[in-house]
Structure 1
Amino acid sequence: MRFKRKYKVAPQLNLPTIADLAMLLLVFFLVCGKLGVRSPVLVESPRSITAEPAGGSDRPVIVSVTAEGQYFLDGQNVGVETLRGELEALLSRRQDRASRTVFVEVDKRTEFRDYVVAVDAVNNARGYLELKVVK
């Protein structure tokens, strides 16, 4: 006696159902994650009378170039010839990159050659350049 074979149906994944389930799980975890936010703890930090601010006297160096072609180093008028030497002397005492950063402020009407002179002076003094255009 011969028995008829039953053919097994291969299992299939129903992708829309899996996508719906994944979306529901995502929404669930997003909502639950937002509910668990903690409020910060407010702490009043102590103040020191004798401590100096970080960096000490290493405030940033600012080179300003006016529209008339005048150069100012930390607010003092310097000539084109002395700008490089004074920058080198000022930056030679500073070691880390943050204290060797030089901010170059340029008026928007300044001629390009005056700007290039200031940038060359910063590069020759081994400073790190930051540019600011003043209106």
Structure 2
Amino acid sequence: MRMRRHHQQDEDTGIDLTPMLDVVFIMLIFFIVTSSFIRESGVEVQRPQAETANPQDKGNILIAVTADGQIWMDKQSVDIRSVRAHVERMRVDQPEGAVVVQADKDARTGLVVQVMDQARLAGVQDVALAAGSGVN
């Protein structure tokens, strides 16, 4: 009979980690689902300076237009004809997000207007044009 008691005590002294692992996985899933990822356009542009520029917090979809006429979204070069499809695809992740067009100061105005128009055709009402702050 002693042997039996000793054996039961050994089994009872172990720590069950299953509930702790469950909590950790639930927290991990919560943070993945609730986090918002900032998408970058993938290219650096020289934005024009503006005295009245004010920061916009919710610019989740960034589109860059370079001086040589390239359009960059999500770190890849895209054609003007596919901008609308890319914006629609990216809006699935951020339905409330705005589109910010980062146009180089030497970019063609016509191309910038086309990009902004494609974003509006994709269903985004809040389309902004990025500018640098004129205040140093």
Structure 1 length normalisation: TM-score?
0.53
Task: From 35, 52, 67, give the equivalent of 1:56.
Answer: 35
Distance change in 2, residues 1:82/1:91 (3 Å): same
Deviating above 6 A after TM superposition, structure 1's stretches of 4 or more consecutive aligned residues are none
Counterparts in 2 of 1:32-71, with a 5 A limit?
Answer: 50=28, 51-52=30-31, 55-59=34-38, 60-71=60-71
CA–CA distance in 2 between the matches of 1:122 and 1:71?
13
Q: Does 1:124 align with 2:121?
A: yes
- Give 1:132 shift: 0.9
Whose relative contact order is higher, 1 or 2, with alpha carbons under 8 Å and at least 6 apart? 2
CA–CA distance in 2 between the matches of 1:55 and 1:121?
29
Whether the 8 Å contact between 1:67 and 1:109 is mirrored in structure 2 is: yes
Question: 1:72 is aligned with what amino acid?
Answer: W
Name 2:21's counterpart in structure 1.
none
Structure 2 length normalisation: TM-score?
0.52
- Give 1:125 shift: 1.1
Question: 1:89 is aligned with what amino acid?
Answer: R
Question: 1:123 is aligned with what amino acid?
Answer: R
Whether the 8 Å contact between 2:83 and 2:119 is mirrored in structure 1 is: no
Runs (5+) with no aligned partner, structure 1: 1-48
Whether the 8 Å contact between 2:98 and 2:127 is mirrored in structure 1 is: yes
CA–CA distance in 2 between the matches of 1:58 and 1:81?
25
CA–CA distance in 1 between the matches of 2:115 and 2:71?
8
Name 2:77's counterpart in structure 1.
77
Q: Which has the larger radius of gyration?
A: 1
Question: 1:80 is aligned with what amino acid?
Answer: I
Name 1:89's counterpart in structure 2.
89
Runs (5+) with no aligned partner, structure 2: 1-26, 39-59
> Alignment identity in percent?
23
Question: 1:130 is aligned with what amino acid?
Answer: A
**More helix per residue:** 2
